[in-house]
Amino acid sequence: MTAELRIDAHTGLVSGASYQASPNCDDRPAGMQPELLVVHGISLPPGQFGGPAISALFCNSLDPAEHPFFAEIAHLRVSAHVLIRRDGSLIQYVPLHRRAWHAGRSSYCGREHCNDFSIGVELEGCDDIPYEPVQYRRLVSFVHALQAVYPRITRERIVGHCHIAPGRKSDPGPAFDWQAFFNALDAGD
């Protein structure tokens, strides 16, 4: 079992996470609180795990000469609130009360601009390779910590990037086992 996580409501920081500040964030609209969790999947280069490329992308230091795919994406200004690595370790890039730039063009229940009211969690993975059991455990722990601070993030308000940007995004992909995740979340694991 992974360690229980806690969130400092004032700083928006997650206990147990290493922090690497991303410049790709800003303030949420006045009075807006997180009420949606968006689950993403990312691997850089695609299909490869480990290494510093994800953090480099989120911190605007990705070297376009390191890999042909990096040349295509190094100009992007994106971030997520947190990343859960394959080993379950947690990296935070944006304080939870701030707006990370993770959802892009998106809509949830008719509301546009999901970044305004969501938290983005990236899982190191890709659409067609199963995620690790420790990643599910860490995600469940993260959700429980979120719900203690942001109670509007209910089970029904946890979605994939594919759900808020259908046709444009596919992550976390068919390899993400939603049923197992929700079973673990409901069981309090």
Q: Please state whether beta strands 98-100 and 90-92 pair in parallel, antiparallel, or not at all (unpaired).
A: unpaired
What is d(CA 102, CA 42) in angstroms, rounded to the nearest whole number? 11
Q: pLDDT at position 1, please?
A: 40
CB atoms closer than 10 angstroms to residue 6: 15
For the chain, which residues make up each domain, given as ranges? 18-187
Task: Please indicate whether residue 38 or residue 189 has the higher confidence score (pLDDT).
Answer: 38
Tell which residue, 110, 95, 114, has the closest CA to residue 27.
95
Q: What is the pLDDT of residues 105-136, one digit of tens each?
A: 999 999 999 999 999 999 999 999 999 999 99
Q: Which pTM value belongs to this model?
A: 0.97
Q: What is the pLDDT of residues 137-157, one digit of tens each?
A: 999 999 999 999 999 999 999
Residue 138: helix, strand or coil by DSSP? Answer: helix
What is d(CA 155, CA 2) in angstroms, rounded to the nearest whole number? 20
- What residue has token string 């807006």? 32
Q: What is the pLDDT of residues 81-110, one digit of tens each?
A: 999 999 999 999 999 999 999 999 999 999
Q: Which CATH number fits domain 18-187: 3.30.930.10, 3.40.80.10, 3.40.50.300, 2.40.160.10?
A: 3.40.80.10
Assess whether pLDDT exceeds 50 at residue 173: yes
Element (H, E) at 18: strand 18-19
Cβ-proximal residues to 78 (8 Å cutoff; 6+ apart), any chain? 24, 57, 58, 101, 102, 104
What is d(CA 115, CA 135) in angstroms, rounded to the nearest whole number? 23
Q: What is the pLDDT of residues 2-57, one digit of tens each?
A: 568 999 999 999 999 999 999 999 999 999 999 999 999 999 999 999 999 999 99
In the chain, alpha helices (H): 53-58, 68-73, 133-149, 161-164, 178-187
Catalytic residues: 122
For all residues of the chain together, what is the average pLDDT? 96
Q: Please state whether beta strands 90-92 and 82-84 pair in parallel, antiparallel, or not at all (unpaired).
A: antiparallel
Q: Please state whether beta strands 98-100 and 25-27 pair in parallel, antiparallel, or not at all (unpaired).
A: antiparallel
What is d(CA 100, CA 1) in angstroms, rounded to the nearest whole number? 28
Residue 144: helix, strand or coil by DSSP? Answer: helix
